[in-house]
Amino acid sequence: MSGSLFDRTLLGALYQQHHEELFRYAARFTGDADLAEDVVQEAFLRLSERPPAQTEAIRAWLFRAATTIAIDTHRTRRRRTALAEAGADRLPMAEQGPDPARSAERADLRRRVRTALEQLDARDRAVLLMREEGFAHREIAEAVGTTTKSVGTMIARALGKLARHLELTESDV
């Protein structure tokens, strides 16, 4: 492992600033809270080991790294799970509430959203979810390797597809 350009204090501060939003993005992207945690840790590991040559915006760099890691890791994890025939269901992290009915409702909603997101191809999913995090089309384009102009088209396609899979009606929108 090569040496890091970051020391503990600085890396810790950047982690404090960005880990929540990065986790939210990764959890939505992968549909798996445990995996999302790995993605976040791996993104910061890469930042510490191989920061980009140019001092560009760290936030955009982290999301770009997380996107790449999430795609790779998700693929690997699915393969590993299949090979190991793991019995544990990797649903998003359960949040135990006092009201079982409400918890069940929430679990259903999560399953519904996760299933719908899985219908998008990885690039469309990344584009849509990075938009949700407030990134400009130029930053999104750099993250997924496309032109800035194509991002609008990809977002429109992703929104339409997601709305269909979520069975959103006119009254919902």
Partner 1 sequence: MMNESNELTHIDAGDLVRLIDGELSLDDRAALDSHLSRCRDCVARREAVRGQASAIRELLRSADVTPPATPLRVAVAPVKTSAAVRWRAAAVVALVVAGAVAAPPVRAWIANVARAAWSSVTGGKNRPVSQFVPVEPGEAGAVSFVPVGSTFTISVPAPAPARVIVEAVEGNRVSVIGSRGQPVPGLVVLPSEVRFTQPSGGSGPDYFVRVPLTLQSINIVIGGRSLQTLRPVTAGERWTVPLGPDR
Question: Which residues in the 60-89 window bind partner 1 by CB under 8 A?
Answer: 80, 83-84, 86-88
Q: List the one residue from 50, 75, 93, 104 that touches partner 1 (CB under 8 A).
A: 93
Find the shortest distance in angstroms from Cβ 144 to partner 1: 15
Find the shortest distance in angstroms from Cβ 172 to partner 1: 5
Q: List the one residue from 50, 72, 75, 95 that touches partner 1 (CB under 8 A).
A: 95
Q: Does 104 bind partner 1 (CB under 8 A)?
A: no
- List, as own/partner pairs, every contact residues 64-69 make where C-beta atoms lie below 8 angstroms and the sequence separation is at least 24, other chains included: 64/142, 64/143, 66/22, 66/25, 66/26, 66/29, 66/39, 66/40, 67/29, 67/126, 67/130, 67/143, 67/144, 69/39, 69/42, 69/43
- Angle of helix 8-30 relative to helix 58-84, nearest 10 degrees? 60
Q: Does 150 bind partner 1 (CB under 8 A)?
A: yes
Q: Does 157 bind partner 1 (CB under 8 A)?
A: yes
